[in-house]
Chains A and B, each alone.
Chain A
Amino acid sequence: MPSTPVDNRPELPAYDRPQLPAYDQRVVVAFLLGEAGLPVAEDELDELVSVFALVRGMTRILHGATVTEQLE
């Protein structure tokens, strides 16, 4: 038995992660509402696209670094 632990884990390769293409928020919003079966009208969709931006901003706070350190 060696007196000190031996780390035999392979070194992880550095990934060059590709950027996802920019998405069209209106298409995403329409998709999500459609999946939920909600009969949203065109003018309502316009308003919900701006709400969607607020919503995603809110969720980014949740996935932020500080709170993650406390949770994990």
Chain B
Amino acid sequence: MRIPSGVADAAAALRSGELTSVGLTHALLARIERENEGLGAVLGRCDEAALNAAEAADRALSAGTDRGALHGIPLALKDILATEDAPTTGGSLAVLPGFQGYDSAAAERLRSAGAVLIAKATTSEFACGTPDDTKPFLFPRNPWDTNRWAGGSSAGTGSGVSAGLFMGGVGTDTGGSIRVPAAFCGVTGMKPTFGLVSRFGCIPLSETLDHVGPMARSAEDCAHILTALAGPDSRDTGSRTFEHQDYADALDPDLTGITIGVDRDHYRLADVPGEVVAAYETAASELAALGATVVEVRLPFFSEIAAATTVVMNSEPLQVHGRNLREHWDDYGRSTRLRLAAGAFYSASDYTRAQAVLRRGRVLLGEFFQTVDCVVSITSAVAAWRFEEIGLAAAMKTPFFTNRWNGLGMPAVALPMGFSSTVTGSPTLPLPLSWQVAGPTHSDGLLLRVAAGYQTRTDWHSQIPPGFELEEAGA
């Protein structure tokens, strides 16, 4: 049978009678069974509950009850989001109490939209560590080259979507943890506006920077997932009330009337390889063809906002993990415990200064977005690392251009823009490259529209890694 490429494709196949939710769920469970040993994308399976949900979805659809685009669609949740039918490990032996036996808001909302939660996807340990061969967890491997990392921290969601193990999923993003694995694995991922998606039932890393958001092959699929996820929730102190909208309804590839800023400072200031810059410039040149007005911009306080976000991102996790870390030091992976411990190096003065910079940054960026509707930049200066290239200090210095949007609380969508054929000058397997579209608070729909518009003119997002073709014998 044919495995659909993603949410919208599967939704159409379910309604045309080409597929049933039960058939698709069975096929994907078999695919996970076959591929996961080599990919490490899935930490926990929910076979029985998933098949029951799929059966119920098929029955409802036959009876004329259609809950929308996610009805009967198999999705995965990053394993720091609680689910009542599977354990939530956070990818760690040092399990934090309080996240077992109930559904996170993300799980509740997806189930309510009719989705079939098929798996708990691999996460970097507590959304901040790196693969550790002294711990009993599979390494999350990149389907484009399994000797390379899927990225962090929503590694399994990115890897599994790319390899067609599920139709889409949910990740979390504190400094780039949705957008970096999306970039490494060649899929689309979105960090929504702060407060748009509830974090209830999500193991926290940073109270002021954590975001929950969609990952899928396309921006259209992300729009469907975000529509289900978004909404206020009094159980999350960061939750805000926004006008509910169907983000997929707002997609329109005609970008006439939209002004898009192209940022070049970020790659001029960092050591970005020429082929990444070339792919970015080619991608940016497509925007005018979609009708947008394109202007070059300079983002205010580029370095300061990124530094402030890093200070907050490295300080707050120690508050979350301090006690557990003292009592279970050796249960944490080495990179995780050292990164968390580094939170002790920041003073109260550093932290309050960082928050002041971010407050000021929100005002300045608010003014900046009076002149353009959104801005584009490169997501990551590097393609997926080999496992041996990952290091704590290297990760702190590597130019991902993602974290400032967490500090600002503003939305950003990362999407594929081509492939790298060389890494540090040496020929390699083709590895995905990514750019991102970011905008002011509440611009989530606009960003998805721009991203989806770009994806009508390019097919980078629909490329399937060799060896993971979307055909299943029998099934």
- Tell me, yes or no, whether A63 is within 8 Å of chain B by CB: yes
- Nearest A residue (CB) for B364: A70
User: Are A63 and B338 in touch, CB under 8 angstroms?
Assistant: no
Instruction: Name the distance in Å between B36's Cβ and chain A's nearest Cβ.
Output: 32
- Nearest A residue (CB) for B359: A71
- Tell me, yes or no, whether B96 is within 8 Å of chain A by CB: no
Per-residue CB contact flags for chain B residues 323-366 toward chain A (1 = under 8 Å, else 0) read 00110010000100110011111110010011011001000100
User: Are A47 and B344 in touch, CB under 8 angstroms?
Assistant: no
**A interface residues with partner B (beta carbon < 8 Å):** 29, 32-33, 35-40, 44, 47-48, 50-52, 54-56, 58-59, 61-64, 66-67, 70-71
User: Are A36 and B318 in touch, CB under 8 angstroms?
Assistant: yes
User: Are A55 and B341 in touch, CB under 8 angstroms?
Assistant: no
User: Are A55 and B345 in touch, CB under 8 angstroms?
Assistant: yes
Subset of 26 A-B contacts with CB under 8 Å? A29-B345, A32-B344, A35-B344, A36-B343, A37-B326, A38-B337, A38-B341, A38-B344, A39-B326, A44-B337, A44-B338, A47-B393, A48-B341, A51-B338, A52-B342, A54-B397, A55-B342, A55-B346, A58-B311, A59-B307, A59-B350, A61-B304, A63-B353, A66-B304, A67-B304, A71-B360
Complex Cα distance, B352 from A71, in Å, reads 12
Complex Cα distance, B393 from A35, in Å, reads 23
Given A58-B310, A71-B360 in contact, is the A52-B303 Cβ separation under 8 Å?
no
The 10 closest A-B pairs by CB, nearest first: A61-B307, A36-B344, A55-B345, A32-B344, A67-B304, A59-B350, A37-B326, A62-B353, A39-B329, A51-B342
Task: Give the secondary structure class of B's interface.
Answer: helix
Instruction: Name the distance in Å between B19's Cβ and chain A's nearest Cβ.
Output: 50
Q: How many A-B residue contacts, CB cutoff 8 Å?
A: 82
Q: How many residues of B contact A (CB 8 A)?
A: 34
- Tell me, yes or no, whether B392 is within 8 Å of chain A by CB: yes
User: Are A54 and B393 in touch, CB under 8 angstroms?
Assistant: yes
User: Are B318 and A58 in touch, CB under 8 angstroms?
Assistant: no
- Nearest A residue (CB) for B329: A39
Instruction: Name the distance in Å between A31's Cβ and chain B's nearest Cβ.
Output: 10
Question: Other CB < 8 Å A-B pairs besides A58-B311, A62-B304, 15 of them?
Answer: A38-B329, A38-B337, A39-B326, A50-B393, A51-B342, A51-B396, A52-B342, A54-B397, A58-B307, A58-B310, A61-B303, A62-B307, A62-B357, A64-B304, A67-B360
- Tell me, yes or no, whether B308 is within 8 Å of chain A by CB: yes
Given A44-B338, A61-B303, A62-B304 in contact, is the A51-B345 Cβ separation under 8 Å?
yes
Complex Cα distance, B346 from A62, in Å, reads 12
Per-residue CB contact flags for chain B residues 55-80 toward chain A (1 = under 8 Å, else 0) read 00000000000000000000000000
Name the contact of A48 in the complex, choosing from B307, B329, B342 (C-beta under 8 A). Answer: B342
- Tell me, yes or no, whether B44 is within 8 Å of chain A by CB: no
A58 CB contacts on chain B under 8 angstroms: 307, 310-311
